Structure 1
Amino acid sequence: MNHRLKRKPLKRYQVGKLLSLFVVVYGFSMLYGMFKPLPENISYESDKHKDTEAEVLFDITHEQDGEVKEDHEIFDRIEKMIADAEDFLVVDMFLFNDEYPPDLSFPPLASWFSEQLVEKKRENPDLSMVVITDRINSFYGSRVPEHIQRLEEAGIQVVWAEMEPLRDSNVIYSGLWRSVIQWFGTPKGGWLPSPFSSEAEPVTVRSYLDMLNFKANHRKVVINEQEALVTSANPHDASAHHSNVALSVRGKVINDILESERAVVEMSDADPSLFDDMEYNGKRSSDAEGAEAKVITEGKVKEQMLKYISAAEADSDIWLGAFYVSDRDIINALKEAADRGANVRLILDPNHEAFGREKIGVPNRPVADELQSYSDQIEVRWYNTNGEQYHTKMLYMTDGDEAMVNGGSSNFTRRNIDDLNLETNLLLVAPKNHAMMEDIEEYFHALWNNDGSHYTHDFSQHSEGEVWKYWLYRLQETTGLSSF
């Protein structure tokens, strides 16, 4: 009797020690995930390259006379870049799959894109080709899609970007992932339905658990020896109708873009040797005046956005076209620019649909309510979407005779521009009368004024003012417990 009584406190003591040890390990893992050093050349900012040939391309889905029309040019240019490649071809794309709910129908963009790459390798077996993509396309190691298997079988190097070396965005969960779950690995195959399509191959429990880290290689880049294209567009069937933007450059800045891509390959413990002989080897296609260009990735995108917005004065115009905007530093910088008299205009996706699933408008609607009500200098319009998304990610500013554009893969959220995701943008500065800047100016004014088509809705179309959505967005943005 006395012996059993003595054993109970001992068991409780042992359980307490185990719980204390777990709390210490979990806390350390969480803090390490928040502050760990970044791999080399991640969060990268290149030198300035003057006289860079640059242009902008648009995918615009719009409603005209009651019909939905598409004026798309980005993948036409990518097709040409693949055909023109002679020395090398590097592709880094986030969403590269053909999975979507079976009751929907989309163009076969992923398989088309794969076939373009495979056919190029057949035509030129000696061409160095690297395709980098996010593990979401294998649903975190559950299986390899057929269209990506074809790339590997053709002799193209496929690199699955490994996100573990980056800092954690969903730190509350990722502390548990790092300390316990990750050590069990992710076997191929599974029995759970894919979250993207009920007709896709089953996936594993641990793939779902991996997904909850909410980290991604979100880059969208195509490079050959003559040209580099940085875009917001994905070779993803269910994204085929989205409105997007791309910036194309020719010049030595391409070498810096290659360096930023090599960093992802090295971070992923893949063989970077194909990059050894890759360098810009092109020539100008026109005699027009060039732009000042630099490549910026991850947190450097935010640094440059804040630098330019913070310098805006009463004669400055700020245009923001965005799928998501939620980063508090960017929002506060826009408010402060408005206080100084800058004209701030935002065209936003209403966040009410995603691949056939209804959304509640977070984060854009509460952010838009906050900004629109803050100052008469800030105006918001909603892109007129019809099942697709306004997927553009672009900041454009003019100040006197100078213009600047910062565009690429980065949504304007904490996850995308705070060194948590992998992202690539181009920063281009040129006179306001540069052909590219005139095209961007015309683009924003056409969308804002509905010139020739019904591009945008008035702010009141999706104005809500719901307090609970505002605080939900703030909680999700702060903690990382969200997909944006």
Structure 2
Amino acid sequence: MPPGDFLCFSPDGAYNKRAPFYGVRWRMTMTLKRIGITIAVFALLLYFWNMIFHQVKPVPDGVHTAGDVRMIAEEDVTFLRDLTYQEDGERVLDHELFDEMYDVIREAEEFLVIDMFMINDFSSEGEDYPPLSREFTDVILERMEERPELDVHFISDPVNTTYFSHEAEQLERLREAGAEITFTDLTLLRDPNPLYSSFWRFALEPFGQEGTGWLPNAFGPESPDVTIRSYLKLANIKANHRKTVTSEKASVISSANPHDASGWNSNAGVRVEGPLIQDILETEKAAAAFSGADTSQFPAWSGEEDGRDRPIQAQVVTERYIETAALKTMEAMEEGDELWIGMFYLSDRHIIEKIEETADRGVDVKLILDPNQNAFGQDKIGLPNIPVAAELLERGDDRIQVRWYNTEEEQYHTKMMAADRGDTVNVLIGSSNFTARNLDNYNLETNISFTSPPDTAFAEDVLQYMEETWNNDGQEYTTDYDTHAEAIAPGKYFLYLLQKALGFTTY
């Protein structure tokens, strides 16, 4: 019942002149409260709807694919590796990947389709990194000038514009020369950081990304300034993380970015020829199409298979099919087999548990991991590999061994797995770390899965690479586990668990 002031007549019969005014005000207050509660409930429902939907929504057409299983000739696949090490106190770069990419570019006659996560000169202050982004761009421009009819498509991630705060310098040079440039529409991918992204989608995304940057760039003080809206978009933490260079003659799939601050990194990849090219092109066409590019004239491979012996089985796998291929390989291993993993980030629970199960069956597991002290020229604190390595060693008895790549100011950026099963060697290699973000349909990733007889040059080169880096044949590539086996501080371990739980992390 309303208070006494709201009554028209008091108990003694006198008329209360204030009653109509207070009655209206009380009704308006209650109405506004009901409207406020309704809006709050609606906003909360929208928040949770966004959170759930963008975790489970269908991925765009052509994403999360496994290509045809192909039988390829031994000559149609070449293992490539970039090794960085210290010799007499000096950094030595024994690198192959970009030389091979440049060969593919310079030999292209019909088309080039390139998909690169990072192509920029962003870096921390005080380091003299190689000008890899400009060099990579220059090689493309030289070939475009030599062959004006060359059809060039370059797909990339918005990180190169710091999420549309500025132009991507090298990509603009290519655009001006006639290349088709496509920035991946990340909003169509699922959200790995749902607590934040759900709020961002309905409260912040409608305001767009335009504007002139005014905040310092987190990638380094020499990088262009950034808008606050770009930082808010960055916090969604997802990417087109692919690294492919493809012509009508060959394709290089790797873990290497043409990014200046990544120029010292150790990486690995493959050059492939033949029908695998078409499978790679199909994945890139899909990425361009859902990002708004006109793909009606997108390049296609027109080569033909010949009568050569084809002993190696190969399959292009993207996104979650990469995890499927890794788990399937480990499930097939038996006692006495040997599993090698070389990885920048290892944190996916399915992979970790499968490694433990594989070791329990009597498989020897050898992990070469980056100590996670540096990323893109920025200092890091050892997450996730240091706590993950400690966990694996604790649970894996003597069957699991870990060595750290001996990094200085660079990364062991390799992303590969090799299973030596005696009469068969399985290799999984490409752009994908073994993390939920890379394997659970959040990022775009491209790998190739191979099954080879052990006596092919490809299988021998892969296993030789793993053994040389493990055993330090010729150079000190890796160090003992104890080098970075310091006790994990409770605060750091809690941060690792919290980041994993909330999804607010790049791993």
Give structure 2 stretches of 5+ with no counterpart: 7-21
Match of 1:437 among 459, 462, 466: 459
Q: Which residue of 1 aligns with 2:134?
A: 111
Partner amino acid, structure 2, of 1:349: D
Q: Which residue of 1 aligns with 2:439?
A: 417
1:359, CA displacement in angstroms? 1.2
Residues in 1 aligned to 2:289 and 2:255: alpha-carbon distance in whole angstroms: 24
Residues in 2 aligned to 1:465 and 1:397: alpha-carbon distance in whole angstroms: 31
446-455 vs 468-477, greater mean Cα deviation: 468-477
Partner amino acid, structure 2, of 1:261: E
Kindly indicate whether residue 354 of structure 2 is the aligned counterpart of residue 333 of structure 1: yes
User: Which SS does the other structure have where 1:294 is aligned?
Assistant: strand
> How many residues matched?
482
Partner amino acid, structure 2, of 1:344: V
Residues in 1 aligned to 2:125 and 2:406: alpha-carbon distance in whole angstroms: 25
1:140, CA displacement in angstroms? 0.9
Match of 2:475 among 440, 445, 453: 453
Q: Which residue of 1 aligns with 2:124?
A: 101
Question: Contact between 1:64 and 1:452, CA under 8 Å: does it hold in 2?
Answer: no
Kindly indicate whether residue 399 of structure 2 is the aligned counterpart of residue 365 of structure 1: no
1:14, CA displacement in angstroms? 2.0
Larger Rg: 2
Q: Deviations over 1:8-44 (max 9, x none)?
A: 3333222211111100111111111101011111001
Kindly indicate whether residue 294 of structure 2 is the aligned counterpart of residue 291 of structure 1: no
Partner amino acid, structure 1, of 2:327: L
Match of 2:375 among 327, 350, 354: 354
Which residues of 2 match residues 256-267 of structure 1 at below 5 A? 256-267=279-290
Residues in 2 aligned to 1:471 and 1:190: alpha-carbon distance in whole angstroms: 34
Residues in 2 aligned to 1:247 and 1:188: alpha-carbon distance in whole angstroms: 40
1:440, CA displacement in angstroms? 1.1
Partner amino acid, structure 2, of 1:136: V
Kindly indicate whether residue 244 of structure 2 is the aligned counterpart of residue 221 of structure 1: yes
Partner amino acid, structure 2, of 1:432: P
Residues in 2 aligned to 1:88 and 1:356: alpha-carbon distance in whole angstroms: 33
Kindly indicate whether residue 229 of structure 2 is the aligned counterpart of residue 206 of structure 1: yes
Which residues of 2 match residues 28-427 of structure 1 at below 5 A? 28-52=49-73, 53-275=76-298, 277-281=299-303, 290-374=311-395, 375-427=397-449
Residues in 2 aligned to 1:214 and 1:31: alpha-carbon distance in whole angstroms: 17
1:452, CA displacement in angstroms? 0.9
User: Which SS does the other structure have where 2:333 is aligned?
Assistant: coil
1:103, CA displacement in angstroms? 1.8
Partner amino acid, structure 1, of 2:100: R
1:5, CA displacement in angstroms? 4.1
Residues in 2 aligned to 1:62 and 1:279: alpha-carbon distance in whole angstroms: 38
Question: Contact between 2:111 and 2:151, CA under 8 Å: does it hold in 1?
Answer: yes
Residues in 2 aligned to 1:96 and 1:225: alpha-carbon distance in whole angstroms: 23
1:355, CA displacement in angstroms? 3.7
Residues in 2 aligned to 1:397 and 1:199: alpha-carbon distance in whole angstroms: 43
Question: Contact between 2:342 and 2:368, CA under 8 Å: does it hold in 1?
Answer: yes
User: Which SS does the other structure have where 1:234 is aligned?
Assistant: coil
Q: State the TM-score, normalizing by the size of structure 2.
A: 0.92
Residues in 2 aligned to 1:160 and 1:282: alpha-carbon distance in whole angstroms: 32
Question: Contact between 2:275 and 2:305, CA under 8 Å: does it hold in 1?
Answer: no
1:288, CA displacement in angstroms? 7.6
Q: Deviations over 1:418-445 (max 9, x none)?
A: 1000000011111111111111111111
Partner amino acid, structure 2, of 1:84: E
Q: Which residue of 1 aligns with 2:43?
A: 22
Identity of matched residues, %? 41
433-442 vs 415-424, greater mean Cα deviation: 433-442
User: Which SS does the other structure have where 2:171 is aligned?
Assistant: helix
Partner amino acid, structure 2, of 1:397: A
Q: Deviations over 1:228-262 (max 9, x none)?
A: 11000000000000000011111111111100110
Q: State the TM-score, normalizing by the size of structure 1.
A: 0.96
1:282, CA displacement in angstroms? 7.2
Segments of 4+ moved more than 6 angstroms: none
Partner amino acid, structure 1, of 2:62: N
Partner amino acid, structure 1, of 2:506: S
Question: Contact between 2:119 and 2:170, CA under 8 Å: does it hold in 1?
Answer: no
1:289, CA displacement in angstroms? 5.5
User: Which SS does the other structure have where 1:483 is aligned?
Assistant: coil
Q: Which residue of 2 aligns with 1:463?
A: 485
Q: Which residue of 1 aligns with 2:12?
A: none
Residues in 1 aligned to 2:88 and 2:308: alpha-carbon distance in whole angstroms: 40
Q: Deviations over 1:439-477 (max 9, x none)?
A: 111111111111111111100111134254344323322
Residues in 1 aligned to 2:42 and 2:418: alpha-carbon distance in whole angstroms: 51
1:267, CA displacement in angstroms? 1.0
Q: Structure 1 residues 440, 328: CA separation in 2 closer, same or farther (over 3 Å shift)?
A: same
User: Which SS does the other structure have where 1:319 is aligned?
Assistant: strand
1:291, CA displacement in angstroms? 1.6
Q: Structure 1 residues 403, 476: CA separation in 2 closer, same or farther (over 3 Å shift)?
A: same
Residues in 2 aligned to 1:199 and 1:402: alpha-carbon distance in whole angstroms: 49
